[in-house]
Amino acid sequence: MAKIVVNVMLKPEILDPQGNAVASALPRLGFTFANSVRQGKRFEIEIDGEPTPAQMVEVEKAAEVLLSNPVIETYEVRVEK
């Protein structure tokens, strides 16, 4: 069994109020290391066996059509060992 990870992030130019809220909460708790925070989504997809190139193409397609909205988000796909 393999795990495919899809990370979805808002594009840099899109305002991220949730990330901003986290960034302003950190110093209130004494964490002063962060210049900025962006919040994204992570999908973990389990499949039987090692993914074939054809399956990876399908995952890419699903990431583009459903898991992300290309108008405001980018995605990256990788296989977790």
Partner 1 sequence: MRIGVITFPGTLDDRDAARAVNVSGAEAVALWHADADLKKVDAVILPGGFSYGDYLRCGAISRFAPVMKLVIDAAGKGMPVLGICNGFQVLCESHLLPGALTRNSDLHFLCRDQEIEITNNATAWTTSFAKGERITIPLKNGEGSFQCDDQTLATLESEGRVIARYVGVNPNGSRNLIAGITNERGNVVGLMPHPEHAIDPLTGPSAQGLGFFTSILKAMVK
- Residue 49 binds partner 1 (CB under 8 A): no
As a whole number of angstroms, the distance between CA 14 and CA 25 comes to 20
- Residue 57 binds partner 1 (CB under 8 A): no
User: From edge to edge, which strands make up the β-sheet containing 73-80?
Assistant: 40-47, 2-10, 73-80
- Residue 12 binds partner 1 (CB under 8 A): no
The answer to whether 77 touches 5, Cβ cutoff 8 Å, is yes
Draw the binding track, 17-46, toward partner 1 (x: CB under 8 A; -: no contact).
xx--x-------------------------
Q: Which residues bind partner 1 (CB under 8 A)?
A: 10, 13-15, 17-18, 21, 66-67, 69, 71-72
